[in-house]
Each structure stands twice: as structure tokens, then as C-alpha cells.
């Protein structure tokens, strides 16, 4: 059996324990390494809070010493929006036509899939492996109601995760986590900015240290930074 290549793209602003639990669970159940790909310019998000290099560095700190989890910085080396289609085309060119590739996405991303660049063609390049999220279950009737075009595209592709090993691309499977993960980067950033003492629970200690050291996601630091260029340039 050709080993499966598991790819997990995200903004990771910042990476949280939910991302890591997903990557570990998929790695262990699918018996394959997971490549985490930070998006330099996430297509459907506004400006990120931490820059691309900081987000990639936090991801590297998060997986340091962790077997089978790797960071792939390729999207940082491309200009323009970090379209998944472009990333998968690069990967497919590298590994050839036979290696199965699965792109891991959360349920919220599945609902939005029809807005992705060349979304139907993604299935020519890879499988999608979806993870339910609170408020975004992977259920046929919910998908049919909330994203009918996506549901219609997925229906004939729907299979079990184990079946993704036996074909290079074109499948859709739900990966069953024992329990949906509550973490989100938005809520994590909110907790950091609010000085909520619980925020370090959602990041590995080296990532918490990096966030503190660089004063990321801290409203005061962002205000202070906003003054710096004007101060350097002198009075206008
Ligand atoms: N708790 C979670 N459960 C399932 N999927 C998740 C979870 N958190 C993130 N994901 C998925 O991981 C991918 C990357 O997520 P991303 O880096 O955007 O984090 P996020 O928590 O969704 O961030 P934000 O709150 O800023 O939107 C997306 O496909 C997203 O749906
Ligand atoms: O290719 C697209 O059009 C596209 C649109 C939205 C999201 N994505 C990718 O999906 C992954 C998760 O995105 P996000 O915004 O939830 O962090 C990340 O790798 C993005 O680059 C890709």
C-alpha cells in the first residue's frame, strides 16, 4: 500500500491545542506523517495578527520533538493568496500521480468550500479529510441545508477514512475525533488580549513563551506598535 500523505493547512494565528490534537489523532489512526502548512496569505481572512514567519515559527515550536508532525513552509515562499489548489498542485507534481494525498479541514471550512479557488478541481489532486467542530458537524442533512453545492459534490465521494489509502485523490471522509475540540484561534486571541489567565492552557509552553516574548495578540502591544513608525519619521 502506498503511504498516505496527510496535509493540514491553516492560518495558525496562533496554533492551538485543538490543531495539535487533530494532527496527532489523524497521524496515529492513519499511520502517516502530518505536514502542517501555515498559510502566508490566507485567502478568506483579513490581515493576520501575527505575521507569517511568526505563525510558522510558533507552529515549529509546537511540533518540536513530536514524531510524525512536520511544518512545511512552502506557502511562505509564494506571493499572493495562499490557494490550496496551488499548494496541492505543487505537492502532486513532487510526489507523482499515485501517492494518496489527504488535505485535513475543519467542519467550518467544509461549509465554505464552494468559495475556495478552483474548489471542484481540488478533488483531482487530493482527498479531503474533515473534522467536525462545535457548530460545524459533518452531517449530510446539515451540509445539504447549509451548503447544498458542497453536499452535492461530496455525496458520491463520501467514504471511510481507511479507504483514502487505496486511491490517490477524489475522496471525502470524516475523521471521527473521540470528542469535538472547543479551541479556536479567535477565542485564544481574545483571551490573551483580555489577560484571561486560562489562555496558556490552549498552547504548548514554548508557544506561550513566544507569544509573551513578542507580545503577540496583546491589545496594548498593538497600540504601541502603531505609534512606532510615526515616532521614527518625526512629526508629519
Ligand atoms: N477546534 C477545531 N476543531 C476542528 N477543526 C478545527 C479546529 N480548530 C481549527 N480547525 C480547522 O483547522 C484549520 C486551520 O484552522 P485555523 O488556523 O484557521 O484556526 P481557527 O481556530 O479556525 O482560527 P480562527 O478562529 O482565527 O478562524 C481549519 O480548517 C479549521 O477549520
Ligand atoms: O484555496 C482557497 O481558496 C482557500 C480558501 C479558504 C481557506 N483555504 C485554506 O484552508 C486552510 C484553513 O483556512 P483558515 O482560513 O480556516 O485558516 C488554509 O490552508 C487555507 O489556505 C484555502
**CATH number (domain holding residue 164):** 3.40.50.620
Tell me if 184 CB under 6 Å of ligand 2: no
Is 69 domain-assigned?
yes
List average pLDDT for each run of 10 residues in the chain, which is 236 residues long.
90 98 98 98 94 98 98 97 98 98 97 98 98 95 97 98 97 96 98 97 98 91 39 30
Tell me if 109 CB under 6 Å of ligand 1: yes
What the block records as the C-alpha cell of 212 is 509573551
Q: How many angstroms does the Cα of residue 45 sit away from the middle of ligand 2?
A: 8
Is 52 domain-assigned?
yes
Residues with Cβ within 8 Å of residue 221, at least 6 apart in sequence:
215
Q: What is the pLDDT at residue 56? A: 98
Is 221 domain-assigned?
no
Tell me if 14 CB under 6 Å of ligand 1: no
Lookup result for grid cell 496583546: 218
Count structural domains, the chain.
Answer: 1
Is 54 domain-assigned?
yes
Q: What is the pLDDT at residue 3? A: 86
Q: How many angstroms does the Cα of residue 175 sit away from the middle of ligand 2?
A: 18
Is 74 domain-assigned?
yes
Is 223 domain-assigned?
no
Q: What is the pLDDT at residue 223? A: 39
Q: What is the pLDDT at residue 231? A: 31
Q: What is the pLDDT at residue 219? A: 76
Give CA separation, 59 vs 36, 54, 156, 168, 236, in Å: 8, 9, 35, 27, 39
Q: What is the pLDDT at residue 220? A: 57
- The domain in which residue 13 lies consists of 5-214
Does the predicted TM-score (pTM) go above 0.80?
Answer: yes
Is 232 domain-assigned?
no
Tell me if 74 CB under 6 Å of ligand 2: no
Is 233 domain-assigned?
no
Q: What is the pLDDT at residue 234? A: 29
Q: What is the pLDDT at residue 1? A: 62
d(CA 126, CA 164): 10
Amino acid at each position: 500500500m502506498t503511504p498516505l500523505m496527510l496535509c493540514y493547512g491553516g492560518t495558525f494565528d496562533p496554533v492551538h491545542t485543538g490543531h495539535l490534537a487533530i494532527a496527532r489523532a489523524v497521524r496515529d489512526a492513519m499511520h502517516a506523517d502530518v505536514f502542517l502548512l501555515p498559510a502566508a496569505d490566507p485567502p478568506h481572512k483579513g490581515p493576520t495578527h501575527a505575521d507569517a514567519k511568526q505563525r510558522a515559527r510558533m507552529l515549529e515550536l509546537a511540533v518540536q520533538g513530536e514524531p510524525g508532525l512536520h511544518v512545511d513552509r512552502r506557502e511562505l515562499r509564494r506571493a499572493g493568496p495562499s490557494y490550496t489548489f496551488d499548494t496541492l498542485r505543487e505537492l502532486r507534481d513532487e510526489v507523482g500521480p499515485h501517492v494518496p494525498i489527504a488535505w485535513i479541514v475543519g467542519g467550518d471550512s467544509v461549509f465554505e468550500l464552494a468559495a475556495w479557488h478552483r474548489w471542484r478541481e481540488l478533488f483531482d489532486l487530493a482527498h479531503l479529510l474533515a473534522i467536525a467542530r462545535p457548530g460545524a458537524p459533518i452531517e449530510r442533512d446539515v451540509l445539504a441545508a447549509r451548503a447544498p453545492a458542497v453536499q452535492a459534490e461530496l455525496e458520491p465521494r463520501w467514504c471511510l477514512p481507511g479507504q483514502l489509502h487505496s486511491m490517490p485523490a477524489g475522496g471525502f471522509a470524516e475523521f471521527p475525533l473521540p470528542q469535538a475540540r472547543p479551541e479556536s484561534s479567535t477565542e485564544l486571541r481574545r483571551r490573551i488580549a483580555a489577560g484571561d489567565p486560562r489562555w496558556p492552557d490552549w498552547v504548548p509552553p514554548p508557544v506561550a513563551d513566544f507569544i509573551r516574548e513578542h507580545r503577540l495578540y496583546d491589545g496594548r502591544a498593538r497600540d504601541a506598535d502603531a505609534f512606532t513608525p510615526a515616532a521614527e519619521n518625526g512629526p508629519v
